[in-house]
Amino acid sequence: MHNDDIMSSKTMLYIPEYDAHGNLCTRVIERDYEYISKLAPTKLMDYNLRYFGSSLRGAFDGSRMILGKLNKNPIVVHEQSNIVWFPSMSYLRQECIWFAVHHIQDYLAVDKKNTKVIFMNGYETNVDLSVRAFETRIQRAYLLKYKLEKRTKNLLVQYDQGKVFQRMANDVIFEDEAEKD
Residue 162 has a pLDDT of 54
Number of C-beta neighbours around residue 37 at 10 A: 19
Residue 14 has a pLDDT of 98
Among candidate residues 116, 145, 140, the one with its CA nearest the CA of residue 68: 140
Specify the pTM. Answer: 0.82
Residue 98 has a pLDDT of 98
Number of C-beta neighbours around residue 180 at 10 A: 5
| Pair 48, 5: CB distance under 8 Å | yes
| Pair 97, 119: CB distance under 8 Å | no
From first to last of its 181 residues, the chain has per-residue pLDDT tens of 456 799 999 999 999 999 999 999 999 999 999 999 999 999 999 999 999 899 999 999 999 999 988 778 999 998 777 799 999 999 999 999 999 999 999 999 999 999 999 999 999 999 999 999 999 999 999 999 999 888 877 666 555 555 555 554 555 554 445 455 4
The pairing of strands 98-100 and 104-111 is unpaired
Q: How close are the terminal C-alpha atoms of the chain, in Å? A: 51
Longest dimension (CA), the chain: 78
Please spell the DSSP secondary structure of 100-162, one letter per residue: EGGGEEEEEEEETTEEEEEETTS-EEEESS-HHHHHHHHHHHHHHHHHHHHHHHHHHHHS-HH
Among candidate residues 14, 2, 3, the one with its CA nearest the CA of residue 75: 14
Chain center to CA of 134: 16
